[in-house]
């Protein structure tokens, strides 16, 4: 029987992905011994492979946190490069498309809350009127208006107040 160090070396080499022929030649053992040890040491080999993957992930910054940081650094460089560009050089159709995209993004980013500061009947009714005004002037879209109205109605129900306007947005 081979010594413990040889088996440990076998696990390490197998985890590195070496073939039985390569391991047999390197450790001076037969391929049949390699096959037998593979069966006996499968869990140890798999564990060592996971450890090696973890080491590589750490070495090359492949963990989620490192990837997010790298993407953030790249985004900062992109923003810096864009800040140096003159948007007046862009064609009008591209500027208009950019304007519309930014306006949409800002609207989505800035969503007025429909919940009144205090959950009183008057506060919620005031929120309903604000919601109606916001939808009419195009500040919010139909889908968002429905979501906010549903929230207000749920709060009115909690206060045992029937919707006095009987509003339905479908």
Q: What is the pLDDT of residues 47-73, one digit of tens each?
A: 999 888 888 777 776 666 777 777 788
Residue 116 pLDDT:
38
Distance CA 36, CA 28 (A): 15
DSSP state of 120: -
Residue 36 has pLDDT above 90, yes or no: yes
Residue range 105-125, pLDDT digits in tens: 776 665 544 343 456 767 777
Contact 30, 24 (CB under 8 A): yes
- Please state the domain extents for the chain: 1-85, 88-170
Query: Which residues, including other chains, have CB under 8 Å from residue 35's CB and lie 6 or more apart?
Result: 20
**Long-range contacts of residues 122-126, Cβ cutoff 8 Å, at least 24 apart:** 124/152, 124/155, 124/156, 124/159, 124/161, 125/164
Who wins on pLDDT, 91 or 57?
91
Distance CA 149, CA 34 (A): 69
Distance CA 148, CA 154 (A): 10
pTM: 0.38
Instruction: List strand residue ranges (DSSP E) for 31-155, in order.
Output: none
């Amino acid at each position: 029987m081979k010594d413990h160090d040889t088996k440990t070396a076998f696990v390490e080499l197998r985890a590195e992905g070496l073939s039985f022929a390569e391991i047999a030649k390197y450790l001076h053992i037969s391929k049949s011994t390699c096959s037998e040890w593979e069966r006996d040491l499968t869990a140890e080999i798999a564990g060592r492979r996971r450890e090696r993957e973890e080491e590589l992930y750490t070495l090359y910054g492949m963990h989620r946190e490192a990837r997010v940081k790298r993407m953030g650094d790249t985004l900062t460089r992109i923003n810096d490069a864009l800040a140096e560009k003159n948007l007046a050089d862009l064609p009008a159709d591209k500027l208009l498309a950019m304007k519309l995209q930014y306006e949409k993004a800002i609207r989505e980013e800035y969503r007025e809350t429909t919940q009144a500061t205090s959950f009183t009947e008057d506060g919620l009714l005031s929120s309903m009127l604000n919601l109606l005004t916001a939808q009419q002037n195009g500040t919010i879209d139909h889908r968002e208006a429905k979501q906010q109205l549903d929230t207000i109605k749920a709060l009115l129900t909690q206060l045992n107040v029937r919707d006095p306007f009987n509003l339905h947005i479908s």
